[in-house]
Structure 1
């Protein structure tokens, strides 16, 4: 059965992920979660829901990938594809995100930095106040 989940961070972006539970089983999710350190902590933070623990971790991984390469949805999905010829060879510990392994990122809205959001200040004569 396929289910769709929305994963949101307050300011870092959001994504929609489709999970085929016939393929991406709880055992598969456990394998992903346990590949990384602090697996028990992640589970505790998500009230022992391994799916939620993996999806939270996936949002952060996808956001890092998106920022590093200034990628769109297609680029983020391809970054997880270890068969792709896009300068990457998948991401260690993660399956493909194109649906072939039971998980697909179907929408991704990452962080966007606009030049107009950045300020530059001359702090040459700045004196830090110390107590």
Structure 2
């Protein structure tokens, strides 16, 4: 069964969990989120991500703590690919994206592109 694309809040929760050094409590996660979503909204998102197999959960005392169960790079790359797939002019979207990169990000992209196999490799 194919996964539905992640919503904005799901992506934000994943980013906060990924940035944590280890398991993170619901309260700590909620405090690190932008836009002040309600705690019940955060709990709903956490449960959705658990159901999708993207998070692991442990019980610590009377609360749960979470960590990623998937590779963050795969999740983010998948979202980028999904957005690009929906564009009517992918080349234009890519050029606009590249124009917004910082100097360091552009350097990192050049390194990645230089390391690709000459057959146009990379995963699709």
TM-score exceeds 0.5:
no
Q: Give the alignment's TM-score, normalised by structure 1.
A: 0.28
Structure label with greater radius of gyration: 1
Per residue, is there more helix in 1 or in 2?
A: 2
For normalisation by structure 2, the TM-score amounts to 0.29
Q: Relative to total residues, which structure has the larger strand share, 1 or 2?
A: 1
